[in-house]
Amino acid sequence: MKIYIDGTFYPEAEAKISVFDHGLLYGDGVFEGIRAYNGRVLKLDEHIDRLYDSAKALLLTIPLSREELIEATLETLRQNNLRDAYIRLVVTRGIGNLGLSPLRCPKPTIFIIAATLELYPEKYYREGLKVITAATQRTSPAALPPAVKSLNYLNNILAKIEGLNAGVEEVIMLNSEGLVAECSGDNIFTIKKGQMFTPPIYAGALGGITRGIIFDLGQTMGVPLKEIQLTRYDLFVADEIFLTGTGAEVIPVVDVDGRMIGDGTPGVMTQKFIEAYRHLTQTTGTPIFV
């Protein structure tokens, strides 16, 4: 595996980041998880746009142009001869001292990893996930804007640990008002009486790229969509629930806190979204090899 670091490709064993990098010391940085399918990178422009928006919100200047960063991402895939991959694109504040001040970090660090990924075993796409509600609340938007995809993921990790301890693969996170925000790594959608619902961004949800794809697919499929505040009760009585994310893609949920969703199997509409999403991944995107 070859890894891009600040303009140079290194073998995996030689790819190193300084222990004084503020991305490591303080989680000061931003990232994108991106997928390539069938020789094309899905929604690359949208991912790059979100990365720059996240960096701007943190007053972090990315030292490459948008075009240069796109080319570096594609070249990382070419260097590893990958047509299907998960790409982790990271920009940190860079090397500084042991103080918090970003002014002591003169140059941000950029690294790109391209590898294979299976976030959930295939059986969960056929049978569905069981999930629980985490006691760990989603970080308040007043503390850290959910639109910023930062390296500080401890809040999500603590929630994920709760799920692992309970024997489930994913957890639902509530905000300080007890309303559904998102999962530890995925957005959440419910379906009730033919309508689709998802929490708004201000509830604490990340504006996921896959979430946006579902918006578009829903419109094409004629499924009404509303961004509304959801409670746990809304989840318990939903006809169908599915999660979305770059790594997770579209995955059904069949049990929430011991409550069976629908008949306990992936719903018809959820299966249609899975099929439509998988078709999209194989037919669209930025070509890797030209």
Same fold flag, 2-115 and 122-282: no
pTM of the model: 0.94
The predicted-structure confidence for 137-168, as pLDDT tens digits, reads as follows 999 988 888 889 999 999 999 999 999 999 99
What does the alpha-carbon distance between residue 42 and residue 187 come to, in Å, rounded to a whole number? 18
Annotated catalytic residue, options 149, 160, 192, 272: 149
**């009730």: which residue's tokens?**
192
What does the alpha-carbon distance between residue 98 and residue 38 come to, in Å, rounded to a whole number? 44
- What pLDDT is stored for residue 119 in this prediction? 80
As assigned by CATH, the class of the 122-282 domain is alpha beta
Give me the mean pLDDT over the 197-218 stretch: 95
Return the domain boundaries, the chain: 2-115, 122-282
Q: Yes or no: is domain 2-115 CATH 3.30.420.40?
A: no
The predicted-structure confidence for 107-126, as pLDDT tens digits, reads as follows 999 999 999 887 888 999 99
Residue 149 known to be catalytic: yes
